[in-house]
Amino acid sequence: MTFVSFAEFEAHLDSLGLFSMQLGLARMQEAMRLMGIERLSATVAHVVGTNGKGSTSGFLEALARAHGLATGLYTSPHLVSVRERIRVRGSMVSEAGWLQAANAVMDRCAGVGLTYFELLTVMALSIFAREGLDLIVLEAGLGGTHDATCAISADLAVMTPVGLDHEHVLGPTLADIARDKSGALGRCPAVTGEQDAGVMDIFRRAGAGRPLWSLEDCRTAGRFLIPAGGAPMLLTPASLPGHPPYQLRNAALATLAWSRLAQAGGWQFDAALCTQVLGVTRFSGRFCRHGRILVDGAHNPMGLTALCEALEAAGEHFNVLVFQAMRDKTLDQAILKRLRALADTVVIPALALERACDARELAARFGHGSRAAWDLQTALQGEGAILLCGSLYLVGAYYELFPEQLL
């Protein structure tokens, strides 16, 4: 199969099913063998966890690029265009570059049966391999044992905070999820964000024999002291003006990862440059204010709790909460009550996704003053401040309406 246009490739990709998944690494390993990319010459940082993976990956790539490294970044999901998932030296790859990679993979791996995410992962690795990069940052899609990104040898594992999410795939308890995520450990050194004590025990056992640095050891009085060879680098809320409080943890974990990578690779670590980069780096859909609308991709209990804490601490209140979620997400009533208190009314738009909650049923869970809307555009009508959150797919639908607001 040869694609003659990017639109034709997108149609094929869609036919594979955005949410389709088949556990196991055999297909990835076979595809990587056929593509001749079993090992990459660049250093690889593998970012795994539940919350903050995208931001941590983005911060880490920005830090490395600011220090002069040629970087590759692979993230998921995308908000508007699938091209958002693969970036080289900070920029999206052109449609022509995507077609070249897609046709190369399909030419050699058509019979492997790659899933949607596996095909994109092999394409990303193929693109990165031809670019002569210094550092590649790979964000895991789901889990840390069977995820496609686990087929690649890594030089550093970066474990973001682990919480309940994707229980139907990874297991019903926090320990189940932590055990799956821990599959990324034990093969290389690792850094980890602040974790539940039980999660940390699982990580220590899985990573036995390899260095494991914890962000918890860097925390002091709400600040972080990141070891950097000489004097430690201090990160405080003031280091990230305009960011919500929860991004300080993601930025600190990325900085800890960069300090370890820089030391191992003989690269520069400039604390002042790090502070400057972290302060100006932003991500679409992560606590982004667009006029009267605040857009945040919080979509699981841990993320929604962090969002509520940030807004409550700032004393913020909204006229309307626009909310949606996927049916397989855990929506504790206590979280819904907390979100409900942040706004006068709640509007639940219908989303054209099979996984999305029924708008009327979800509105009923919020109680009095909540209603369903035909679509997002209808939900956004009216005056006053709006908080939009609950799903990255809802955030993506927002940016499809306002693509000029994408960062």
The pLDDT tens digits for 393-403 are 999 999 999 99
Whether 54 shows a pLDDT value over 70: the answer reads: yes
Q: Are 348 and 323 in contact (CB under 8 A)?
A: yes
Residue 166's pLDDT band, with cuts at 50, 70 and 90, is low
Whether 165 shows a pLDDT value over 80: the answer reads: no
Query: How high is the mean pLDDT of the chain?
Result: 94
Whether 161 shows a pLDDT value over 90: the answer reads: yes
pLDDT above 90 coverage of the chain, percent: 83
Whether 167 shows a pLDDT value over 70: the answer reads: no
Residue 39's pLDDT band, with cuts at 50, 70 and 90, is confident
309-313: average pLDDT: 96
1-20: average pLDDT: 91
Whether 68 shows a pLDDT value over 90: the answer reads: yes
141-147: average pLDDT: 86
Lowest mean pLDDT among 92-106, 319-333, 334-348: 319-333
Residues 239 and 279: their CA atoms lie apart, in Å, by 6
81-95: average pLDDT: 97
187-196: average pLDDT: 95
Residue appearing with tokens 């709790």: 305
Please name each of the domains of the chain with its CATH number: 6-280 (3.40.1190.10), 288-405 (3.90.190.20)
* Global confidence as pTM: 0.95
Residues 42 and 132: their CA atoms lie apart, in Å, by 8
Per-residue confidence (pLDDT) for residue 204, from 0 to 100: 95
Per-residue confidence (pLDDT) for residue 182, from 0 to 100: 92
Query: How far, rounded to the nearest angstrom, does the alpha carbon of residue 106 sit from its chain's CA centroid?
Result: 27
Whether 23 shows a pLDDT value over 90: the answer reads: no
Per-residue confidence (pLDDT) for residue 382, from 0 to 100: 85
End-to-end CA distance of the chain: 34
Residue 142's pLDDT band, with cuts at 50, 70 and 90, is confident
23-43: average pLDDT: 94
pLDDT in tens, 91-132: 999 999 999 999 999 999 999 999 999 999 999 999 999 999
pLDDT in tens, 255-304: 999 999 999 999 999 999 999 999 999 999 999 999 999 999 998 888 99
Whether 168 shows a pLDDT value over 80: the answer reads: no
39-63: average pLDDT: 95
Whether 331 shows a pLDDT value over 90: the answer reads: no
Residue appearing with tokens 């639908």: 397
Q: Are 45 and 137 in contact (CB under 8 A)?
A: yes
19-47: average pLDDT: 92
Lowest mean pLDDT among 31-45, 145-159, 170-184, 278-292: 170-184
